Structure 1
Amino acid sequence: MSVRALRGATRLSADDPAEMTDAVVELVSALLERNGLDRADLISVIFTSTPDLVCMFPAAAARGIGLGDVPLICAQEIAVPGALSRVVRVMAHAEMDVPRSEVVHVYLRGAEALRQDLAQ
């Protein structure tokens, strides 16, 4: 079994706790589903958000879907002029038995613009 990193991002229309929760749950759920993973396969998850998102920690939303025993951490993205606003990014580490080239990265709600080479 290998350790693989899964990337993804989503974009919120507003800095709102309910929307943050919905977007993060959707993103993490899609990462797991599209890669055929169970929560038990996760090793750790890093969330980042752009400086304009301060309503709550993205990890708090992830804990709400059963990731309470997975190490989670949040950080703030660099405030690069002209960067896409209201974005939550994720990098999850998981035990997977697939080559790196077969990992499915998930970009939702307009965040596809960030990595058109990876977006499904």
Structure 2
Amino acid sequence: MIRGVRGATTVDQNNGEEIVEKAHELMIDIISQNDIKPEKVTSVLFTVTEDLNAAFPAKSLRLLEGWTYVPVMCMTEIPVPQSLVKCIRVMVTVDTSLDQTEVNHVYHYHATQLRPDLKN
């Protein structure tokens, strides 16, 4: 079954190293908590809030062995008033045997407020 695995994190500054580092940390947790293999991934979509432009969070996947050929894209979130700032979101589309209720969506730092109903 093809499933979407969601996640989000925040950074303190619009700093390229921090953006890649926090996105990498998020992806490591998503991958490990959902037993994701790169050859089973259809694509990965990252979004960032408009206050983040110092780096592409997709660069974080290129630091992982085996992820070279996974299609990755970055986009800007729509600027909703009073929304969470300095936020990186991700959607991993993957072929998995997990039921929808077994998928572990991962939220770090201030992004935990986006989905308080999902406790990691």
Band the TM-score falls in, shorter-chain normalisation: over 0.9
- Rounded to whole Å, the distance in 2 between the matches of 1:31 and 1:12 is 17
Which amino acid counterpart does residue 107 of structure 1 have in structure 2? Y
1:98 match: secondary structure:
coil
Which amino acid counterpart does residue 101 of structure 1 have in structure 2? T
The normalised TM-score by structure 1 is 0.94
Residue 25 (structure 2) pairs with residue 20 (structure 1): no
Which amino acid counterpart does residue 38 of structure 1 have in structure 2? K
Gaps of 5+ in 2: none
Structure 1 match to 2:44 = 45
1:79 match: secondary structure:
coil
2:45 match: secondary structure:
strand
* Superposition CA RMSD, Å: 1.1
Structure 2 match to 1:7 = 6
Structure 1 match to 2:105 = 105
- Rounded to whole Å, the distance in 1 between the matches of 2:119 and 2:62 is 25
Task: Using the aligned pairs only, state the percent identity.
Answer: 34
Which amino acid counterpart does residue 51 of structure 1 have in structure 2? E
Shift of the alpha carbon at 1:119? Answer: 4.0
Aligned pairs (5 A) from 1:58-97: 58-66=57-65, 67-97=67-97
Q: Give the paired residue count.
A: 119
- Rounded to whole Å, the distance in 2 between the matches of 1:119 and 1:11 is 17
Residue 29 (structure 2) pairs with residue 30 (structure 1): yes
The normalised TM-score by structure 2 is 0.94
- Rounded to whole Å, the distance in 2 between the matches of 1:61 and 1:4 is 21
1:24 match: secondary structure:
helix
1:31 match: secondary structure:
helix
